[in-house]
Amino acid sequence: MTNEDAQRLVLEIIAEIAPDEDLSDVKPEINLRDQLDLDSMDFLDIVMELRKKYNIEVPEEDYPHLASLDSCSKYLIPKFKSVSA
């Protein structure tokens, strides 16, 4: 799985939980919250969808790793690998 793959999966989840957001130009290095209108309830949903769709567990203390698309992919790629292994 590449960075782009992981980021695309995260964007797909965001599109589902926040269909009113424009996701065409999200900068991977910038915090999601600085570009999109996402709050803690939305982040809970990103975590819940990761679990539902991919069996990935993100404990609450790790939520900061989901701040930007770059940090998401860095944090999630090993997790994707271990669940598919």
Is 14 buried (19+), middle (13-18) or exposed (0-12) by CB count in 10 A?
A: buried
70 contributes a contact to other proteins by CB under 8 A: no
Closest CA to 36 of 58, 16, 63, 14: 14
* 48 binds other proteins per the rule CB under 8 A: yes
Q: Which of 6, 13, 32, 42 binds other proteins (CB under 8 A)?
A: 42
Is 65 an interacting residue with respect to other proteins (CB under 8 A)? Answer: no
Stretch that binds other proteins, among 1-9, 16-24, 27-35, 75-83 (CB under 8 A): 16-24
